[in-house]
Amino acid sequence: MQNFYTADDFDIDAHVSADEALVQLRTGNRIYVEALDHKRDLSPERIRELFERGQKPFATVITCSDSRVVPEHIFMAGLGELFVIRVAGNVIGDLEAASAVYACKHLHTRLLLVLGHTHCGAIRAALDGEGGSVASLTERIRDAIGAVTDPYEASVLNTRTAMRELSEQPDLATLSAKGALTIAGAIYHTHCGVVDFLER
Ligand SMILES: [Zn+2]
Protein backbone atom coordinates (compact mmCIF):
# COMPACT_ATOMS: atom_id res chain seq x y z
CA MET A 1 0.00 0.00 0.00
CA GLN A 2 1.31 3.41 -0.98
CA ASN A 3 2.50 5.72 1.74
CA PHE A 4 1.61 9.37 1.28
CA TYR A 5 4.28 10.64 3.61
CA THR A 6 7.83 9.97 4.58
CA ALA A 7 9.16 9.45 8.05
CA ASP A 8 11.03 12.72 7.77
CA ASP A 9 7.88 14.76 7.38
CA PHE A 10 6.60 14.13 10.87
CA ASP A 11 8.06 12.96 14.11
CA ILE A 12 5.02 11.00 15.15
CA ASP A 13 4.40 7.30 15.43
CA ALA A 14 3.68 5.54 12.19
CA HIS A 15 0.21 6.62 11.24
CA VAL A 16 -2.58 5.35 9.04
CA SER A 17 -2.23 6.43 5.40
CA ALA A 18 -5.15 7.94 3.51
CA ASP A 19 -5.47 4.78 1.40
CA GLU A 20 -5.50 2.54 4.45
CA ALA A 21 -8.05 4.83 6.09
CA LEU A 22 -10.29 4.60 3.02
CA VAL A 23 -10.07 0.80 3.07
CA GLN A 24 -10.98 0.78 6.76
CA LEU A 25 -13.98 3.09 6.14
CA ARG A 26 -15.21 1.02 3.17
CA THR A 27 -14.86 -2.20 5.13
CA GLY A 28 -16.64 -0.71 8.13
CA ASN A 29 -19.53 0.48 6.01
CA ARG A 30 -19.89 -2.97 4.41
CA ILE A 31 -20.09 -4.59 7.84
CA TYR A 32 -22.62 -1.96 8.94
CA VAL A 33 -24.85 -2.50 5.90
CA GLU A 34 -24.64 -6.29 6.12
CA ALA A 35 -25.16 -6.16 9.88
CA LEU A 36 -22.49 -8.80 10.32
CA ASP A 37 -21.24 -7.37 13.56
CA HIS A 38 -22.35 -4.33 15.52
CA LYS A 39 -20.10 -4.89 18.49
CA ARG A 40 -17.47 -2.34 19.34
CA ASP A 41 -15.15 -1.84 22.25
CA LEU A 42 -16.81 0.75 24.51
CA SER A 43 -15.39 -0.78 27.65
CA PRO A 44 -14.07 1.12 30.68
CA GLU A 45 -10.66 -0.33 29.80
CA ARG A 46 -10.77 1.23 26.34
CA ILE A 47 -11.90 4.59 27.78
CA ARG A 48 -9.01 4.46 30.23
CA GLU A 49 -6.50 3.43 27.56
CA LEU A 50 -7.50 6.32 25.30
CA PHE A 51 -7.27 8.73 28.20
CA GLU A 52 -3.81 7.54 29.13
CA ARG A 53 -2.37 7.15 25.63
CA GLY A 54 -4.29 9.96 23.93
CA GLN A 55 -6.29 9.83 20.74
CA LYS A 56 -4.93 8.76 17.38
CA PRO A 57 -7.96 8.84 15.08
CA PHE A 58 -7.31 7.25 11.69
CA ALA A 59 -9.50 9.69 9.75
CA THR A 60 -11.36 12.97 10.07
CA VAL A 61 -14.98 13.06 8.92
CA ILE A 62 -17.04 16.19 8.31
CA THR A 63 -20.72 15.44 7.99
CA CYS A 64 -24.26 16.68 8.63
CA SER A 65 -25.83 16.81 12.10
CA ASP A 66 -28.70 14.61 10.84
CA SER A 67 -29.37 12.02 13.57
CA ARG A 68 -29.37 9.24 10.96
CA VAL A 69 -25.88 10.07 9.74
CA VAL A 70 -23.59 8.93 12.53
CA PRO A 71 -20.07 8.28 11.23
CA GLU A 72 -19.02 6.02 14.09
CA HIS A 73 -21.95 3.71 13.32
CA ILE A 74 -21.79 4.00 9.54
CA PHE A 75 -18.11 3.04 9.48
CA MET A 76 -18.20 0.69 12.47
CA ALA A 77 -15.59 2.79 14.26
CA GLY A 78 -14.87 2.63 17.95
CA LEU A 79 -13.82 5.17 20.53
CA GLY A 80 -10.78 7.15 19.47
CA GLU A 81 -10.93 6.10 15.80
CA LEU A 82 -12.65 8.99 14.01
CA PHE A 83 -12.33 12.73 14.52
CA VAL A 84 -15.83 13.94 13.65
CA ILE A 85 -17.02 17.44 12.78
CA ARG A 86 -20.77 17.80 12.37
CA VAL A 87 -22.86 20.75 11.26
CA ALA A 88 -26.20 20.87 9.46
CA GLY A 89 -25.65 20.52 5.72
CA ASN A 90 -21.92 19.84 6.25
CA VAL A 91 -21.11 23.41 5.26
CA ILE A 92 -17.59 24.65 5.91
CA GLY A 93 -17.33 27.81 7.97
CA ASP A 94 -14.37 29.15 9.92
CA LEU A 95 -15.01 26.88 12.91
CA GLU A 96 -15.34 23.73 10.82
CA ALA A 97 -12.20 24.59 8.86
CA ALA A 98 -10.29 25.26 12.08
CA SER A 99 -11.45 21.95 13.53
CA ALA A 100 -10.27 20.18 10.39
CA VAL A 101 -6.88 21.88 10.61
CA TYR A 102 -6.57 20.78 14.22
CA ALA A 103 -7.29 17.18 13.31
CA CYS A 104 -5.07 17.03 10.24
CA LYS A 105 -2.18 19.12 11.49
CA HIS A 106 -2.03 18.16 15.16
CA LEU A 107 -3.66 14.73 15.29
CA HIS A 108 -2.13 13.86 11.90
CA THR A 109 -5.11 12.21 10.26
CA ARG A 110 -4.14 11.63 6.63
CA LEU A 111 -7.69 11.36 5.34
CA LEU A 112 -10.26 14.14 5.54
CA LEU A 113 -13.63 12.86 4.37
CA VAL A 114 -16.59 15.10 3.61
CA LEU A 115 -19.68 12.91 4.01
CA GLY A 116 -22.83 14.34 2.48
CA HIS A 117 -26.08 12.43 2.53
CA THR A 118 -29.36 11.95 0.71
CA HIS A 119 -32.63 13.40 2.04
CA CYS A 120 -30.75 16.17 3.80
CA GLY A 121 -33.09 18.63 5.51
CA ALA A 122 -30.62 21.50 5.19
CA ILE A 123 -30.34 20.96 1.43
CA ARG A 124 -34.12 20.61 1.18
CA ALA A 125 -34.48 23.95 3.00
CA ALA A 126 -32.01 25.56 0.61
CA LEU A 127 -33.85 24.16 -2.42
CA ASP A 128 -37.14 25.43 -0.97
CA GLY A 129 -35.69 28.92 -0.64
CA GLU A 130 -35.88 29.08 3.13
CA GLY A 131 -34.05 31.94 4.78
CA GLY A 132 -34.63 33.81 8.00
CA SER A 133 -33.00 32.20 11.01
CA VAL A 134 -31.47 29.41 8.92
CA ALA A 135 -30.15 31.72 6.18
CA SER A 136 -26.54 31.34 7.34
CA LEU A 137 -26.78 27.68 6.32
CA THR A 138 -29.16 27.80 3.37
CA GLU A 139 -27.37 30.67 1.65
CA ARG A 140 -24.10 28.75 1.82
CA ILE A 141 -25.76 25.68 0.37
CA ARG A 142 -27.46 27.70 -2.38
CA ASP A 143 -24.08 29.17 -3.31
CA ALA A 144 -22.71 25.63 -3.50
CA ILE A 145 -25.45 24.10 -5.62
CA GLY A 146 -26.29 27.00 -7.95
CA ALA A 147 -29.30 26.31 -10.15
CA VAL A 148 -29.40 22.56 -9.48
CA THR A 149 -32.84 21.35 -8.36
CA ASP A 150 -32.28 17.59 -8.03
CA PRO A 151 -31.69 16.84 -4.32
CA TYR A 152 -29.15 14.07 -4.96
CA GLU A 153 -27.16 16.17 -7.39
CA ALA A 154 -27.36 19.02 -4.88
CA SER A 155 -25.90 16.75 -2.15
CA VAL A 156 -22.99 15.81 -4.38
CA LEU A 157 -22.32 19.42 -5.39
CA ASN A 158 -22.57 20.59 -1.78
CA THR A 159 -20.07 17.90 -0.77
CA ARG A 160 -17.68 18.80 -3.58
CA THR A 161 -17.91 22.47 -2.62
CA ALA A 162 -16.96 21.62 0.96
CA MET A 163 -14.02 19.56 -0.35
CA ARG A 164 -12.85 22.47 -2.49
CA GLU A 165 -13.18 24.97 0.35
CA LEU A 166 -11.17 22.72 2.64
CA SER A 167 -8.51 22.20 -0.03
CA GLU A 168 -8.12 26.00 -0.28
CA GLN A 169 -7.52 26.34 3.45
CA PRO A 170 -3.80 27.25 3.63
CA ASP A 171 -2.75 24.77 6.33
CA LEU A 172 -4.61 21.94 4.64
CA ALA A 173 -3.23 22.92 1.23
CA THR A 174 0.29 22.74 2.67
CA LEU A 175 -0.33 19.26 4.06
CA SER A 176 -1.82 18.12 0.74
CA ALA A 177 1.16 19.48 -1.17
CA LYS A 178 3.46 17.44 1.10
CA GLY A 179 1.42 14.35 0.35
CA ALA A 180 0.35 14.18 3.99
CA LEU A 181 -3.35 14.74 3.41
CA THR A 182 -6.05 13.45 1.08
CA ILE A 183 -9.43 15.17 0.98
CA ALA A 184 -12.13 12.76 -0.14
CA GLY A 185 -15.89 12.95 -0.53
CA ALA A 186 -18.73 10.48 -0.13
CA ILE A 187 -22.50 10.34 -0.01
CA TYR A 188 -24.40 8.36 2.61
CA HIS A 189 -27.62 6.84 1.33
CA THR A 190 -30.09 7.45 4.11
CA HIS A 191 -32.54 4.75 2.91
CA CYS A 192 -30.08 1.84 2.95
CA GLY A 193 -26.91 2.78 4.82
CA VAL A 194 -24.52 2.48 1.90
CA VAL A 195 -21.71 5.03 1.48
CA ASP A 196 -20.72 5.89 -2.08
CA PHE A 197 -17.25 7.36 -2.32
CA LEU A 198 -17.01 10.11 -4.94
CA GLU A 199 -14.39 9.89 -7.66
CA ARG A 200 -11.44 12.09 -6.89
ZN1 LIG B 1 -28.32 16.72 6.38
Tell me the per-residue pLDDT of 87-119, one tens digit each, with 9 for 90 and over: 999 999 999 999 999 999 999 999 999 999 999
How are beta strands 82-86 and 111-117 bridged, if at all?
unpaired
Measuring CA to CA, which residue among 107, 135, 93, 132 is closest to residue 50? 107
CA of 121 to the centre of ligand 1 (A): 5
Residue 196 alpha carbon to ligand 1 centre in Å: 16
> Which carries the bigger pLDDT value, residue 38 or residue 158?
158
A 10 A CB-CB count for 47 gives: 13
User: So what's the pLDDT on residue 168?
Assistant: 97
Can you tell me the distance from the alpha carbon of 22 to that of 32, in angstroms, rounded to the nearest whole number? 15
Q: How many angstroms does the Cα of residue 162 sit away from the middle of ligand 1? A: 14
Ligand 1 centre to CA of 51 (Å) is 31
| 149 Cα–ligand 1 center, Å | 16
- Confidence (pLDDT) at 14: 53
User: What is the spatial order of strands in the sheet that 195-197 belongs to?
Assistant: 82-86, 59-63, 111-117, 182-188, 195-197
CB distance 112 to 184 below 8 Å? yes
The pLDDT of residue 73 is 95
Asked whether the predicted pLDDT for residue 6 surpasses 50, the reply is: no
52 close to 120: Cβ distance less than 8 angstroms:
no
Q: What does the mean pLDDT of the chain come to? A: 91
Global pTM reads 0.89
Ligand 1 centroid from CA 186, angstroms: 13
Task: Write out the E strands in the chain.
Answer: 59-63, 82-86, 111-117, 182-188, 195-197
CA of 155 to the centre of ligand 1 (A): 9
Say how far apart CA 10 and CA 16 lie, in whole Å. 13
C-alpha 145 to ligand 1 mean position (Å): 14
Centroid of ligand 1 to alpha carbon of 130 (angstroms) = 15
Cβ atoms < 10 Å from Cβ of 5: 19
- CA 38 / ligand 1 centre spacing (Å): 24
How confident is the model over 41-47, as a mean pLDDT? 92
The whole-number pLDDT of residue 36 equals: 79
Q: What is the dihedral of CA 123, 93, 74, 1, to 10 degrees?
A: 130
User: Running DSSP on this structure, what letter comes out for residue 40?
Assistant: -
Query: How far is the centre of ligand 1, averaged over its atoms, from the C-alpha of 188 (Å)?
Result: 10
